[in-house]
Structures are given as structure tokens and as C-alpha cells.
Amino acid sequence: MDASPSGHLDATSPLPLTTTLSSAPSSQEKPHPAPLRIASSPPAPNVICDQQLLSSGAITPPPTPIATSTESSPRSARSSPRGRTSTEGGVEPARSGVLEFPHHILDYDLRSATILGSGLWSDVYRARPIPAIPASSTSASPSSSADPAAAAPTPPLTPTKHRHPSLSSTPPPPPTAYAIKLPTSRTARAVLKSEAAILSTLTPLPGSQACIVPFHGLDPRNSALVLTALPTSLDAFVTRELNPLSEASRAEQLSAAWPALARGLARGLEWLQAAGCVHGDVKPGNVLLRRGHDGPGAVFADFSAAAIGGIGGGGAAAALGNGPDRHPAAPRGGGTWDFLCPSLLARPGSAAPSPATDLYALAVTLLFAVIGGSPFDAAGRNVWRRREMAKLGRVLECAFSGDDGWRSEARLAALAKSCGWDVRAWLAMGLRGVERRVGIREWREALEREIGAGGEASS
């Protein structure tokens, strides 16, 4: 719901996604920097676990910022948010069970970092890895140390021991650049620690780096989340890379990207559900992309509204709901209106985020990629009308209405013709009412059957 490490690196060149991803910003968000790669899509899991989640407060969060600016932060890695030191700001070490960032092995320097985006709970910076500074020379400036490349800052890939036995694992490899998610307030620290606990649970699981943004730990010095910076978000790719193209070029690029994008996200959501995790805020801005030879790889980011077991349950929403800025009319657990299941919007507090509501949000997210925007854009700037449309849940009907509805319908038809199968019918399986909606495994299997059949038909 808050700032995520999307769009964290410079663009290299435009489409196709099979070679590069742009760093241009989304329509709601600022520009961002250069690309990194992560692992390929995971094999589909065999078990799906429905998880009963805790109730939480409710907010409608700001859009996830993915953009960069030329602004730099003067703060060092050892500076806490707003320039306070860890002692002055009262930052507590990561609690038991939370993966801590091993800053004694490899550190980062925020004084030369580029800001990627700002949100209600955090500011996100792109920072380069640097060699760790020995404790005896903490007064020395990181920027005055030897060249990081010459110093070979890559730590040994030995298992990291944590207080919680289940978190002992080989950490993700050090990236070319980190995305440092710094809390903006004392309340925000609690939100980010809840997110860190969820990421600490998910990260050691097999296949995590192909499904979620790589997490390197919670920095106990400033309560920041240390993540791998990735090239761009799905939102930015659609609005800044696909949409400016001619309709023919757009259809060609989307057709090339669609199989890997749809299959990767379906498998990723199935992986999350097998781990017992409900994301709670699936949307294009919270899907980060990497490049690959077979199309875009996609991972989920921003777990501030997520829950797994007894952890989370809408930490950000609960934090805001307890303060003077509470939004009682918003859905439980947080989320973004255009991508929320109608069951969460009917009456405040009537339902909690669940695997079924995540599936609905993913179906709307993929429809966004196909048609080039929210299916509720026909409402224009009328926020009340937009929310009423979202409550009805008639996603495809709304997508094809209004002045630009014909174009959305034409884009979906063009993709179906190019792929050789009925994309609209498949999306509709995830957009049905809760009682008739399929599960993620059935949805993913239906997709893979169609992709296989379509590939054979086109060859």
C-alpha cells in the first residue's frame, strides 16, 4: 500500500520486454532508474492453503510510487529517517523471527542515493552496495572509503544464522543496487516491521525470488527494509511503454509479453497461497518486472497490507485506523479501490482479504495490462461514481463502456486473436462472484492449457 521498490533502476531501451524494461514512470507516479534481473518463474506449486486471516483497520492507500527523480538523499546508511540516529529516534533492533540486514558484511550509502518514491509510510531510495565499515572506523565516511568495485564487496554465500531456526538460510545474492524503504514516522516503523516479518517468513521458502521482491533484511539501525532494486512496475510498463505505441505495435508487444506475464503472476499468486499468505493489495503498481529471454518476469512487492498466519493482517490499515486520520468508509485490510473485490467494498468490515479476493485483484490487474488502464476509467474524475462501479464488480462491462470502451474491447479481441484462445473468458473466471469464482490452481491450470494449445496452433 505504500512505497515499494518498483522502477528502481534506469531504463536501457524500449520494448520488447524480452530485451529491456523502461524506467519511465506510471501516470500516477514519478520516473525511476536502471534494471536488474532475478530468477525465472517458479514451477507451479502442488498445494494450496487457504488461510484464515485476522481482521484489521481499513484505509485506501496512496498509489505506490515507482518513479525516480534526480533528488539525492544526504543521509548515510547509519542515519535513521528524518536524520535521527538509531538512539535518538528510538529505533529498536529487529524482533526475534525477523531477518536482519547483515550490514557488518555489506552495507549501503544513502548520502549519494536517489529517491525512487514517497508514500504515506515510507520513502524509497536506490542505493549502491558498499563494503562494510569496520566498527573501529564508524566515524569514517562511507563515501571516503575505497572504490566499492575494487574492494569486492560481495559477501560469502554462507548460511545466515537467525534467532528463529526456520529463518536460517542462504541469503539472496547481493544486487547491483538496493531499494531502501525508510519509514517516515514512528507509526510507520511498526508497519514496516510487520512487513519485514512477513517477508522474513516468505524469503527462505523455495522459489521466493521468482515470486516476491528479494528481501535482504530489516536494518536495525534505521528500521528500513533492504530490498533488491528492480527495473520497473507493471503499471509503468503499461502506461509508459505500451500505451504510447500505435495500436498495431502495442498489440504485437503485448502478445509477446502476455504468456510469461500471465503465467508468472498466476504461479506467483499460487505460490503465495501455498505459503498461507494473502497479499491484500495486488495491483499493477505492486507488481515488479524483470527482463528475460522468454518475456517479462513478474514478482509481487509491497506486503504492508499482507497477512500470513498470525503476522500482519493489514498492518498499515490498522496503524492508520488507530489515529486521527482514520478512514472508516474504506475496506478492511487496506487495498486500492479499483482492484478490490466487491465483497470487501459492500459494507465496511463485512469481509476480510482472502485468497479469493487476491485472485480477483490479479484478474483486474491483468485486464489493466490488456486494455491499458483501469476498467473503471469510464467514471473519469468522479470518485464517487468510480467507487460505486467498483462495488458492483461488473468489471468487463465497465471496461467496455464510456467513450474509450470500444478501444478496450478491440485490444482484448486483438490479444485473443494473436494468442489463439479466449482471453476474455479466462479473465472472467477470476472476476465472478465469490461463490462462483474458481480457485487459483484451477485458474492457473486453465491458463497453461490455453497457452499450450495457442502455442501449438500458432506454430
Q: In what order do the strands lie in the sheet with 215-219?
A: 72-73, 113-118, 122-127, 178-183, 224-228, 215-219
**For 124-154, what is each residue's pLDDT tens digit?**
999 999 998 776 554 444 333 333 333 334 4
The reply to whether 145 falls in a domain is yes
Q: What is the separation, in whole angstroms, between the first and last Cα of the chain?
A: 42
Do 191 and 131 share a structural domain?
Answer: yes
Contact 218, 99 (CB under 8 A): yes
Do 439 and 418 share a structural domain?
Answer: yes
440 vs 153, residue with greater confidence: 440
Flag whether pLDDT at 18 surpasses 50: no
Which of 200, 231, 262 is at the close of a domain?
A: 231
Flag whether pLDDT at 112 surpasses 90: no
pLDDT for the residue numbered 449 = 95
CA 451 to chain centre: 25
Percent of the chain with pLDDT over 90: 52
Cα–Cα nearest to 214, from 188, 183, 182, 179: 179
Average pLDDT of the chain is 74
pLDDT for the residue numbered 336 = 87
AA identity, residue 455: G
**For 181-207, what is each residue's pLDDT tens digit?**
999 998 899 999 999 999 999 999 999
The CATH number given to whatever domain includes residue 170 is: 3.30.200
Contact 242, 232 (CB under 8 A): no
Flag whether pLDDT at 325 surpasses 70: no
User: What is the Cβ-side half-sphere exposure of residue 130, based on CA atoms within 13 angstroms?
Assistant: 22
Do 328 and 218 share a structural domain?
Answer: no
Which of 197, 231, 265 is at the close of a domain?
A: 231
Give the pLDDT mean for 113-121: 85
pLDDT for the residue numbered 312 = 63
What band does 332 get if pLDDT is binned at 50, 70 and 90? Answer: very low
Do 237 and 207 share a structural domain?
Answer: no
Rank 108-122, 248-262, 295-309, 375-389 by mean pLDDT and report only the highest. Answer: 248-262
Do 301 and 329 share a structural domain?
Answer: yes
Residue 300: strand pairing partners: 212, 287
Do 143 and 87 share a structural domain?
Answer: yes
pLDDT for the residue numbered 5 = 59
Looking at the structure of the chain, the number of domains it has is 2
42 vs 450, residue with greater confidence: 450
Percent of the chain with pLDDT over 70: 63
Do 194 and 291 share a structural domain?
Answer: no
Q: How far apart are CA 405 and CA 369, in angstroms?
A: 15
Task: Tell me if residue 253 falls in helix, strand or coil.
Answer: helix
281 vs 457, residue with greater confidence: 281
**Residue span of the structural domain in which 218 resides:** 72-231
H or E stretch covering 342: helix 342-345
Do 362 and 421 share a structural domain?
Answer: yes
pLDDT for the residue numbered 349 = 66
Q: How far apart are CA 444 and CA 373, in angstroms?
A: 23
CA dihedral 156, 298, 198, 154 (to 10 degrees): 10
Contacts of 240 (CB under 8 A, 6+ apart): 22, 24, 25, 26, 27
pTM assigned to the model = 0.72
Residue labelled with grid coordinates 514451477: 43
Do 250 and 222 share a structural domain?
Answer: no
What one-character DSSP code corresponds to residue 160?
A: B
Do 246 and 164 share a structural domain?
Answer: no
